[in-house]
């Protein structure tokens, strides 16, 4: 289910270049640009506190945002952002205009449920997560909050592939991998050690 569109206020800016960007940052603003949808780019500035809050809240690059630029609304999705290499605060953001029919590639969080119903985990096995997010192609108006993976009935040695889970309506795998492995149930180290010892004894006996 898509989340409610968030509204972020911004202001138009005229100056471009490194000098103008430095001046904006001194004023507590983060330079940004809106592009795409066959329209001219619009240079804007965001309040530093708002940009920092949204970026570090999680899922920044997979949520539609309504940018209110001096009263003019722009429906966008963040496509990239730059952080200061030393202090990790935002110094620039790129936004892409989107329409309802726009297809987007987004990273969607994977939520694993029913660990208590997994025989493998009950026996001491560990959930080895290969991919915490999935690269999906979705409609801009149907970006899912997460993909749910049910661990019920999975035993040690079992693997969860993308072909075995139900993706959100309209979503398509964009990973370009052949039946992507999302996670596996691996044996606890004690069982692995016992198994290795047993194999070594068998080899010694055979010799």
Number of domains observed in the structure of the chain: 2
Question: Is the same domain home to 115 and 94?
Answer: no
Question: Is the same domain home to 125 and 91?
Answer: no
Question: Is the same domain home to 89 and 120?
Answer: no
pLDDT at 1 over 50: no
Question: Is the same domain home to 56 and 115?
Answer: no
Last residue of a domain, one of 58, 76, 98: 98
Q: Is residue 204 part of a domain?
A: no
Question: Is the same domain home to 70 and 125?
Answer: no
- Per-residue pLDDT tens digits for 151-178: 999 999 999 999 999 999 889 999 888 9
The full DSSP string for the chain is -PPPPEEEEEEE----SHHHHHHHHHTTEEEEEEE-TTS--EEEEEEHHHHHHHHHTS-GGGS-EEEEETTEEEEEEEEEEEE-TTT--EEEEEEEE--TT-EEEEEEEEEEE-GGG-HHHHTT-EEEES-SEEEEEEEGGG--SEEEEE-TT--TT-EEEGGGS-PPTT-EE-S-STT-EEEEEE--HHHHHHHHHHHHHHHHHH-
Residue 16's pLDDT band, with cuts at 50, 70 and 90, is: confident
Last residue of a domain, one of 82, 98, 114: 98
CATH number of residue 124's parent domain: 2.170.120.20
Last residue of a domain, one of 79, 98, 117: 98
Tell me the residue range of the domain where 48 lies: 6-98
Q: Is residue 140 part of a domain?
A: yes
Whole-prediction pTM = 0.73
Q: What is the mean pLDDT of residues 52-78?
A: 92
Q: Is residue 206 part of a domain?
A: no
Question: Is the same domain home to 36 and 74?
Answer: yes
Predicted pLDDT at 200: 45
Q: Is residue 200 part of a domain?
A: no
Question: Is the same domain home to 64 and 121?
Answer: no
């Amino acid at each position: 289910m898509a989340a409610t569109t968030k509204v972020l206020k911004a202001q138009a800016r005229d100056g471009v270049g490194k000098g103008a960007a430095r001046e904006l940052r001194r004023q507590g603003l983060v330079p940004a640009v809106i592009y795409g949808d066959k329209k001219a780019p619009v240079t804007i500035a965001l309040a530093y506190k708002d940009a920092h809050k949204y970026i570090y809240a999680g899922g920044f690059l997979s949520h539609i945002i309504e940018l209110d630029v001096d009263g003019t609304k722009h429906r966008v999705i963040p496509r990239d952002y730059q952080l200061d290499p030393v202090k990790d605060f935002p110094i620039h953001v790129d936004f892409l205009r989107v329409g309802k029919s726009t297809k987007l590639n987004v990273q969607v969080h994977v939520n694993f449920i029913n660990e208590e119903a997994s025989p493998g985990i009950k026996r001491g096995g560990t959930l080895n997560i290969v991919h915490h997010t999935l690269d999906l192609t979705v409609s801009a108006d149907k970006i899912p909050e997460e993909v749910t993976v049910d661990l019920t009935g999975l035993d040690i040695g079992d693997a969860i592939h993308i072909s075995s889970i139900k993706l959100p309506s309209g979503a398509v795998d964009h990973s370009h991998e052949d039946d992507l492995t999302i996670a596996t149930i691996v044996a606890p180290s004690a069982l692995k050690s016992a198994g290795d010892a047993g194999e070594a004894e068998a080899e010694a006996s055979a010799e």
